[in-house]
Chains A and B, each alone.
Chain A
Amino acid sequence: MSEPEIIALAKKDRKHFGALYNYYFDQIFRFVFKRLGGDEDNAADLTQQTFIKAMANMDKYEDRGFPFSSWLYRIAQNEVSMFFRQQKRNYSVPIDENRIQDLAEEAEIFSSHMSAEDQEKLVGFLNNLEESHLDLIELRFFQELSFKEIAEIYSVSEATAKMRTYRILERINKQWKNEE
């Protein structure tokens, strides 16, 4: 049975949603787990919440030429953002050094290995970015999604996703050079 057929069935009867759940659970759980920096229990709760919302809103889902997974990613993205906003204290999300290095190279700040101090400085810059800009940087560099996947989550063209990301990188580059 094809995915559109399963989706059509799941819209009529929620028991058919199981096939979609079993197929997409792993990637959504991985996505949420990484966004939370390896917090297993909260990742499980938010993934569960994502699928409950998807199940409850199946009637509203429309195929607009993007994969079904992008709709799930969008719900998961919103759930995680809401979770961060609800935290009374800062919620610490660790990022691998290699990812910070990739970001620095793409922003043309560093081409060689960064010192621990510079990594901390760059992470400090990131923490001052607007929430929406930070989401984009996170998807691209920490979640390692392609521009196509990012575009699908935001329902924009690939060129728009790329342009928005590079504008943020330019801003980071300028700020870095101003502080040097």
Chain B
Amino acid sequence: MRKFTVNSDKKELNPTDAQIKRHKDFSRLSHDYEKLTKRGKKPLYRDPKMFLFLLVIAIILLLTFLGEFN
């Protein structure tokens, strides 16, 4: 929580132009934004093509296994 105090030390409460300039950087903001919003790799179960591909392979392997067994 904030607690107000009397500025008896006469601390500067307004930033200088140099302080503002030091932190003004749109490329850094864009970079941070990208980092935060970058979507992770799609999970397997949400990728229908990959899911079908793996299902077909599993069926082939199963049929091969059953053929060998018989």
Contact = CB atoms under 8 A, between A and B. Distances in A.
Interface size class of B (residues with CB under 8 A): 20 to 34
B58 to A, nearest CB: 40
A47 interface: yes
Contact of A119 (B6, B13, B36): B6
Interface in B14-31: 14-15, 19-20, 22-24, 26, 28-30
Interface residues of A, number: 41
B70 interface: no
Given A38-B11, A48-B29, A29 B3 contact: no
B27 to A, nearest CB: 9
A34 B13 contact: yes
Contact of A22 (B11, B15, B24, B28): B24
A38 to B, nearest CB: 5
A123 interface: yes
Give the secondary structure class of B's interface: mixed
Contacts of B13: 33-34, 37-38, 94-96
A29 to B, nearest CB: 5
Contact of B20 (A29, A52, A55, A126): A29
Contacts of B5: 92-95, 123
A97 B3 contact: no
Contacts of B9: 94
A71 interface: no
Interface stretch (A13-21, A104-112, A159-167, A172-180): A13-21
